């Protein structure tokens, strides 16, 4: 807030908060009334900046939420196959519990991002099939089987198969997101 006060003060033509120029014989220095004007200007500036920041944050996510649970697997698969890391991570809540195909448990979007970033660098393609979900209000338990194809170190195609069990919850923005994702089920 102090920064906002100083910025507002300077924008009003003041160069130095501690050494104000005399006006009509008034004493130089920071008077109570000048201080209150500065605080008011700073609070107003801070409010404008905070409002603008919230508006920018709301607009900065150009990724549309997936409101149809039946489409969530399709969207996840498309984003994975397109190596759309931001879009893929957006399908998870911030404090998601994720178990990767190796069985390693990770918590949070940052960890999911790290894991996917390494995997997506290999340019894999995945097919999700045998999709099922059970819904209770805003929470769904889902299962699937997957086949992942990618090039091995020697250039030959490798195929991994496995299954996933996920828990998804409908969020305030209307989109479904993973709260638990265990992709390690029977991975071979």
Alpha-carbon distance of 69 to 134, in angstroms, equals 10
Residue 9's region, left for phi above 0, alpha for psi from -120 to 50, else beta, is alpha
69-185 folds as Nuclear Transport Factor 2; Chain: A, (3.10.450)
pLDDT tens over the chain, length 188 residues: 444 434 444 444 444 444 444 444 555 555 555 555 655 555 444 454 444 444 444 434 579 999 999 999 999 999 999 999 999 999 999 999 999 888 999 999 999 999 999 999 999 999 999 999 999 999 999 999 999 999 888 889 999 899 999 999 999 999 999 999 998 876 55
Contacts of 184 (CB under 8 A, 6+ apart): 99, 100, 101, 102, 103, 162
Q: Where are the chain's structural domains? A: 2-60, 69-185
pTM score of the predicted model: 0.66
Phi, psi dihedral angles at 4 (to 5 degrees)? -65, -40
Three-state SS at 17: coil
């Amino acid at each position: 807030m102090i920064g906002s006060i100083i910025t507002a003060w300077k924008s009003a033509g003041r160069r130095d908060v501690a050494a104000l120029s005399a006006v009509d014989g008034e004493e130089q220095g920071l008077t109570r009334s000048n201080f209150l004007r500065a605080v008011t200007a700073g609070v107003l500036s801070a409010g404008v900046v905070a409002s603008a920041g919230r508006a920018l944050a709301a607009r900065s996510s150009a990724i549309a939420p997936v409101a149809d649970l039946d489409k969530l697997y399709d969207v996840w698969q498309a984003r994975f196959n397109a190596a759309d890391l931001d879009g893929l991570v957006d399908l998870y809540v911030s404090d998601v519990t994720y178990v990767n195909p190796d069985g390693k448990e990770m918590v949070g979007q940052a960890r999911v991002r790290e894991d996917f970033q390494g995997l997506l660098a290999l340019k894999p393609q995945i097919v999700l099939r045998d999709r099922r979900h059970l819904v209770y209000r805003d929470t769904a338990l889902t299962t699937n089987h997957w086949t992942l194809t990618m090039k091995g170190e020697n250039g030959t195609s490798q195929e991994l198969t496995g299954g996933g069990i996920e828990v998804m919850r409908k969020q305030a923005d209307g989109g479904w997101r993973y709260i638990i994702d265990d992709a390690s089920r029977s991975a071979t």
